[in-house]
């Protein structure tokens, strides 16, 4: 028997009207757009989102997440521990370690010598925030930052830890945070995706952990909500340019005919992925005009490049991506995520982390300053941090000039800026070994709940039913960290 005919014979009355409604909704969406009008005309801004969202008054409209992939060492950057200088080379006490499991990189070590940071720390700004000399530009903007020094996570290895930060679960398959926001709030620009991803390679560790497209995937949400990765070479987005010999008019006719064929299939099956396909073809067509203008930074004044640094003129660098992130949110992109690789310093940390900080310090601070100067920081939330922290004990041989650090999920530091977050504020504390949290712990789910709260979303109410269960970014956990809210 024909599988399609068999399926149609099994349709209930409820399924029939439900799926007919899906087809009509998709058709109405197309008719309301430029599909039957002049496609060269500029579309209206914004679309989508769920009814009833935001749940409360939002302090942020958009997010720029500067994800430092590989895990920066908190005690070499932000969490100064002066007493460690007198403990250099001594064994990490069992009372501090408390039986914590170790990774395979250090589990067989016979000794766990304490390795204090070799970098100098000083207090900066009116807030008196401690920052190491690795980050002089960040030190100048500390009064705009909120440091959370008591973040902790559940994963001890990179892939589950990065996946956890992106999706709220260690196992792959859940929607990423950007997808949740795209699903719940919709887009603010009809010509650009709601969720954009940019990737750069750090100079500290060129062979750092890989990144997978699923980290910005939509999981079980419709695929229209997944992140769109912009590339630094060739087409910014794959297949954005017309094939050779195909002009814009032919491309438009092709898409119109393809939309009709897809609509016929959508009417037959009610498959939401077909509706997504129709919408994404149209988005790609509109991006042929919007993206080239977006990535053309030639009209930016020299003062902007002076602010972000010389690398801002080099596509694919962290600095260039920070500038591009500002241009994206300026144009209404809801969630921009930068992934900067190279922070996995198991050995040779002093040299490698110096390179990493040179990559990101000036551009990260410049982004905060640039947004502030343009009046965008008040309603843009900027997040900076990695997937976990690093150990106080040395991995490998401790020498006078060199040391390495293993993965440490028990405590680490992130900073936030703008979007209704307190400025010039530090939250939480760790012990003298920077090994355990002593004040105000913040779980990854708490951070996610707080990010959603700034956008006016109650994290317990942004859900999607899949396989019989209502899922959410924070699973069944998470509390808004109200103390960091302005």
- Lookup: tokens for 103: 């990774």
Q: Bridge partners of 426?
A: 147
Q: What is the DSSP letter of 91?
A: B
Q: What pLDDT does residue 416 have?
A: 98
Residue 393: other Cβ atoms inside 10 A: 26
Q: What pLDDT does residue 6 have?
A: 45
- Lookup: tokens for 333: 């992109």
What pLDDT, in 10s, does the model give residues 397-406? 999 999 999 9
Mean pLDDT of the chain: 89
Q: Where are the domains of the chain?
A: 32-484
Q: What angle do CA 281, 284, 290 make, to 5 degrees?
A: 150
- Lookup: tokens for 110: 């016979």
Q: What pLDDT does residue 290 have?
A: 78
Q: Which CATH number applies to 32-484: 1.10.3470, 3.40.720, 1.20.58, 3.30.365?
A: 3.40.720
Q: What pLDDT does residue 38 have?
A: 28
| Spatial distance between the Cα atoms of 134 and 101, rounded to a whole number of angstroms | 30
> Under 8 Å CB-to-CB from 334, ≥6 apart: which residues?
61, 62, 63, 178, 181, 182, 185, 186, 187, 188, 194, 195
Q: What pLDDT does residue 46 have?
A: 57
Report the SS3 class of residue 122: strand
Which of 316, 252, 244 minimizes the C-alpha distance to 284?
252
Parts of the chain with a pLDDT under 70: 1-47, 239, 285
| Residue 202 near residue 186, CB atoms below 8 Å | no
| Spatial distance between the Cα atoms of 10 and 92, rounded to a whole number of angstroms | 67
- Lookup: tokens for 288: 């042929």
| Spatial distance between the Cα atoms of 403 and 455, rounded to a whole number of angstroms | 41
Q: What pLDDT does residue 39 have?
A: 26
| Spatial distance between the Cα atoms of 287 and 273, rounded to a whole number of angstroms | 20
- Helix, strand, coil abundance in the chain, percent, nearest 5: 40, 15, 45
Q: To 10 degrees, what angle do helices 13-32 and 248-269 make? A: 160
CA dihedral 151, 157, 160, 163 (to 10 degrees): 60
Q: What pLDDT does residue 239 have?
A: 67
């Amino acid at each position: 028997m024909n599988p399609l005919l068999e399926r149609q014979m099994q349709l209930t009355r409820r399924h029939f009207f439900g799926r007919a409604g899906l087809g009509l909704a998709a058709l109405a969406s197309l008719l309301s757009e430029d599909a039957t009008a002049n496609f060269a005309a500029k579309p209206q801004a914004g679309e989508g989102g769920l009814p009833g969202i935001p749940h409360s008054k939002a302090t942020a409209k958009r997010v720029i997440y500067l994800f430092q992939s590989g895990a920066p060492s908190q005690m070499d950057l932000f969490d100064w521990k002066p007493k460690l200088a007198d403990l250099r080379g001594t064994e990490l006490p069992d009372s501090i370690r408390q039986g914590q499991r170790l990774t395979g990189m250090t589990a067989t070590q016979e000794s766990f010598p304490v390795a204090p940071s070799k970098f100098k720390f000083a207090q900066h700004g009116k807030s008196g925030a401690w920052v190491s000399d690795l980050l002089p530009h960040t030190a100048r903007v500390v009064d705009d930052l909120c440091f959370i020094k008591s973040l902790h996570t559940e994963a001890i290895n990179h892939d589950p830890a990065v996946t956890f930060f992106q999706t709220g679960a260690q196992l792959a398959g859940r929607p990423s945070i950007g997808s949740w926001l795209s699903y719940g709030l919709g887009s603010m620009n009809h010509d650009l995706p709601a969720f954009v991803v940019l990737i750069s390679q750090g100079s500290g560790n060129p062979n750092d952990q890989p990144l997978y497209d699923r980290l910005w995937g939509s999981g079980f949400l419709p695929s229209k909500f997944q992140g769109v990765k912009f590339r630094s070479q060739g087409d910014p987005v794959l297949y954005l340019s017309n094939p050779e010999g195909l002009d814009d008019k032919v491309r438009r006719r092709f898409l119109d005919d393809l939309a009709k064929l897809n609509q016929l299939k959508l009417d037959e099956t009610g498959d939401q992925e077909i509706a997504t396909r129709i919408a994404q073809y149209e988005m790609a067509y509109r991006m042929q005009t919007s993206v080239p203008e977006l990535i053309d930074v030639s009209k930016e004044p020299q003062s902007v490049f002076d602010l972000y640094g010389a690398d801002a003129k080099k596509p694919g660098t962290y600095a260039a991506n920070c500038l591009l992130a500002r241009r994206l949110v300026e144009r209404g992109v809801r969630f921009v995520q930068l992934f900067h690789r190279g922070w996995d310093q198991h050995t040779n940390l002093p040299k490698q982390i110096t390179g990493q900080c040179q990559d990101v310090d000036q551009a990260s601070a410049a982004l905060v300053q640039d947004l502030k100067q343009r009046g965008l920081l008040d309603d843009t939330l900027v997040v900076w941090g990695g997937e976990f922290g690093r150990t106080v004990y040395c991995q490998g041989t401790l020498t006078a000039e060199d040391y390495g650090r293993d993965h440490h999920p028990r405590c680490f530091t992130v900073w936030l800026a703008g979007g209704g977050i307190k400025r010039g504020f530090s939250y939480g504390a760790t012990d003298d070994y920077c090994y355990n949290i002593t004040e105000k712990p913040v779980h990854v789910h708490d951070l996610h709940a707080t990010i959603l709260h700034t956008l006016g979303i109650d994290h317990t109410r942004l859900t999607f039913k899949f396989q019989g269960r209502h899922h959410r970014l924070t699973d069944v956990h998470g509390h808004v960290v109200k103390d960091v809210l302005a």
